[in-house]
Structures are given as C-alpha cells and as structure tokens.
C-alpha cells in the first residue's frame, strides 16, 4: 500500500530552491533531507502545500508565488537611521547583517543596504520577500504517518 503525505505526517524531503533567473538560493542535496510535520507551518506555505499528496520517491516542480513564500517586500521595513544611532564600534557596510531592536524589544535581523558618514539604511525584510520561488522537491519518505 502506497502512502501519500498528508497534514500531520512527518516527512523527509530533499529540495532545491531557485529564483526566477534560475539561480539556486538553497538546496538540501548536499546534506540530510529536511524533516518536518506537514501542515504545522514549519516551512513556507507554498512548499508545505506542494508536498501534500506526494508519495515517497515522487519528485515535482512547484512554483510558489511570493504570497505563499516570504510575503511581499514591505517598504516600511526599510529604515534610514542617522549614523550616530549606530554603536560606534560597528562600522556598517552594504550587505552586512545587523540586529535591530523593535519598540517591543524584539531583536530583528536587518541588512545594510546603504551606508554613508551620516546615515545608514537597513532593510528588515526577509531576503526572499517579494520573490516568486521554484522548488524541485523529492519526497524521500513519510517518516511517521498520522
């Protein structure tokens, strides 16, 4: 009897994630397959949905729109600070990741997208926000069926 993956099952999956230009942003192929419980929001929604109904050994290509991936790019998460608000021991450079504190006291990763002697611009969006993604997915196993 063939088992198909359904919400609540623990699955083992290999994947390769690509952007629209074909560049690979992540892959599990050089490591162990990822394991997670389907339907428990452990992975992005579109990835989770793509696996439901697959059988062990099956492969598929799933196109995941930004809304079902990391969401839209939110302009309000791009913020410019005056240089004096950055601790003096930090010399911000474009591409560098910093931790910023929200008004609620939560630490949030942000990437420096512009830096000058007077100002620093940070982007706290996920690096893949606003991007449609394509995944090559292989359901390796349904480790534990529910």
Does pLDDT of 144 surpass 90? no
- Paired with 132 in beta bridges are none
Same domain for 138 and 118? no
Query: What does the pLDDT look like over 71-123, one tens digit per residue?
Result: 999 999 999 989 988 888 888 999 999 988 877 888 889 999 999 999 999 99
Q: Please check whether residue 48 lies inside any domain of the structure.
A: yes
- Same-domain pairing of 51 and 90: no
Domain extent for 116:
75-123
Q: Give the pLDDT of residue 2.
A: 58
- Please tell me the number of Cα atoms within 13 Å of 78 on its side-chain side: 8
Are residues 118 and 132 both part of a single domain? Answer: no
Residue 4, CA distances (Å) to 11, 45, 128 in order: 10, 18, 30
Q: Is residue 19 part of a domain?
A: yes
Q: Please, is 137 exposed, middle or buried when counting C-beta atoms within 10 Å of its C-beta (0-12, 13-18, 19+)? A: buried
Each residue's pLDDT tens digit, 4-44: 999 999 999 999 999 999 999 999 999 999 999 999 989 99
The CB density around residue 74, as the number of other CB atoms within 10 Å, is: 13
The structural domain count of the chain equals 2
Asked whether residue 116 is assigned to any structural domain, the reply reads: yes
């Amino acid at each position: 009897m063939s088992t198909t993956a359904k919400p609540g099952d623990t699955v083992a999956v290999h994947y390769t994630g690509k952007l629209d230009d074909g560049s690979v942003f992540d892959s599990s192929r050089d490591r162990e397959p990822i394991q997670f419980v389907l339907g428990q929001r452990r992975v992005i929604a579109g990835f989770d949905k793509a696996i439901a109904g697959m059988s062990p050994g099956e492969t598929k290509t799933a196109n995941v729109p930004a809304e079902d991936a990391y969401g839209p790019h939110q302009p309000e998460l791009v913020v410019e600070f005056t240089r004096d608000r950055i601790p003096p021991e930090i010399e911000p450079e474009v591409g560098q990741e910093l931790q910023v504190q929200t008004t609620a006291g939560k630490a949030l990763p942000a990437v420096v997208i512009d830096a000058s002697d007077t100002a620093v611009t940070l982007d706290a969006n996920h690096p893949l926000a606003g991007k449609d993604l394509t995944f090559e997915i292989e359901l390796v196993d349904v480790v534990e069926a529910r």
